[in-house]
Amino acid sequence: MWYDFRVELFAQVSVLLALAVCVAIVMRLLGQPLIIGHILTGLMAGPYVLGILHSNETLSLLGEIGVAILLFTVGLHLSPDIIRRFGSVSIITGVGQVVITSAIGFFICVALGFSTLVSFYLAVALAFSSTIIIMKLISDKGDIDVLYAKIAIGFLLVQDVIAVLLLLAIPLFTADAASLSSFARFGLSAVFLIAFLYIASRIFISKLSAFFERSQELLFLFALTWGVGIAALFREFGFSLESGALIAGVALATLPSRREISARLTPLRDFFIVLFFIYLGAQLQLDAIIGLLPTALILSGLVLVGNPIILMGILGYLGYRRKTSLQTGFTVAQISEFSLILVALGVSLGHVSNEVLSLITLVGLMTIFGSTYLVAYSDRIYARVQPYLGIFERADAHEKRTRREHSDVVLFGCNRIGYDYLEALVTMGKRLLVIDYDPQVVSAVEDAGVAVAYGDAADISFLETIDFSHATLIISTIPDPSTNALLVRTVKEHSPDAVVVLIAHTVADALSHYGDGADYVVLPHFLGGKHAADLVLKHQDVKKNYSRLRDSHIAHLQLRVAIGHEHPPRLN
């Protein structure tokens, strides 16, 4: 029996992936966001079209794993400094937008003929935006480090907290006898989880990180276990899976290996998140679309147009510029998965009917489609409408800008030869980033006050997490020819004018790197011989000159021994 189920499930996933590829190709040819293709794939695979999807629970589980990994990787980009800088604006915008949208939505629903209780459910459902969808869109667009993304991530987390409180509070208010004890248990759980995460991240993980970083496979396994495990722990205590995964990522955001963790998890995240959106599309109930379509269009208009205007008004009042306000506003132009859960809870409690659930599902489909285009093409839209947005920008507008993590100079490898480069590059006074996969080297460079990242230059996923667009000088002390060839191609794609200096141990490798586009290739053995010959020509046979040179060299070698540098074995 188990064997038959396994074969059936494997066949279903295989057909779903094949269908997803075909739809994705069509979306790419049409220049449309792939997320829409994934939802359409689920709609086609669901019971209303092809009917090939049967293992809904399994697909739901795989989708939840994707959600956890997605939000975990997003949390890795949220350092405590970012939270401190944008915490207040996140609370103001998150709470303000939910309250205003709910109020407007309530009066619209009452005007459409819904009862007071149903209007409450619908109005609140329209106020929440999808953290999962927006994080996916922002990640695909490469805007994680842009100002509007930082603000959006903050207030979406605030909205998630409000949604969780509502999901917990509505049943509590229904059962009056248990409300006080349940609220107390909820508060104690929150205190316990926060204390646990603080102690674990500050005391244990910070000390064990160097051990995990010695093996990239172990680092990957630890990060995956931490992200999914914390998300599951939060769910067991009655909190949302999404908030747990995001906070788990924030707890590791200060680790030097955060880039490497994010890069390693990206392919796994993308696979599972595709299954999540397929599952979302398969759950859409289309049997009552015709009758609900006019109402759904009105409510969708509030979400697609009204929510961005509300948020733009709040951000404009807080002093942000019109472009940031517009781009941030577009991130609330869809309803959340919490909206569907909230209305489904109302159905289970007998507060609303299944028809209301179908209505909010249809609104979800419309707004997800619409907001995908708004976020993806926000730059083009702003270029067209910016002359008309003056009302949303104060005369004294200002912004707490956050810059992308870019550097002018990037040094790959900081052991032996890289150490000499580091001493020289620090004196240049430019933004320097050092990258190494030796935890001890990373720790030493970090202690010296230099920006450093743990990662493997041979991993294309990791290289793609680095912003080379502003780099003017790239130096690699890594002697591996294939790694250097990959590095040259990657750098030239993002910054064609950047100077690239590499290391090679054979003449053939050096010539090959020149053919790849390297600007200069250092051969240490030839360079060492040339340097030695220049020293002899400079000092001739004057013994006192060599005495000073000898003392200086001994001091330098003793320093190298102290920091653990060894000379590489002789090459034939």
The residues, ordered by sequence, that sit 6+ positions from 444 with a Cβ below 8 Å of its Cβ are: 563
Q: Which helix (H) or strand (E) holds 344?
A: helix 337-348
Residues of the chain by 3-state class (helix, strand, coil), percent to 5: 70, 5, 25
pLDDT in tens, 339-377: 776 777 777 777 887 778 778 878 887 888 888 888 888
pTM comes to: 0.61
CA–CA separation, 90 and 82 (whole Å): 11
Asked whether residue 83 carries a pLDDT value surpassing 70, the answer given is no
Tell me how long the chain is. Answer: 572
Distance between first and last Cα of the chain: 62
CA distances from 118 to 51, 110, 351, 562 (A): 32, 9, 7, 72
CA–CA separation, 512 and 526 (whole Å): 17
Structure tokens that stand for 422 in this block? 């580091």
If you average pLDDT over residues 158-185, what whole number do you get? Answer: 64
Helix axes 354-376, 289-301, angle to 10 degrees: 50
CA–CA separation, 130 and 139 (whole Å): 14
The residues, ordered by sequence, that sit 6+ positions from 141 with a Cβ below 8 Å of its Cβ are: 375, 376
Helix axes 56-75, 258-282, angle to 10 degrees: 150
Please give the residue that has the higher pLDDT: either 476 or 9. 476
Domains of the chain, each with CATH number or no CATH: 2-392 (1.20.1530.20), 409-522 (3.40.50.720)
pLDDT in tens, 510-543: 888 888 888 887 777 656 555 555 555 665 556 6
Asked whether residue 2 carries a pLDDT value surpassing 60, the answer given is no
Asked whether residue 82 carries a pLDDT value surpassing 50, the answer given is yes
Place of tokens 């249809």: 362
pLDDT in tens, 317-342: 888 888 888 888 888 888 877 777 67
CA–centroid distance for 12 within its chain: 29
Please answer whether residues 477 and 503 qualify as being in contact, where contact means their C-beta atoms are separated by less than 8 angstroms.
yes
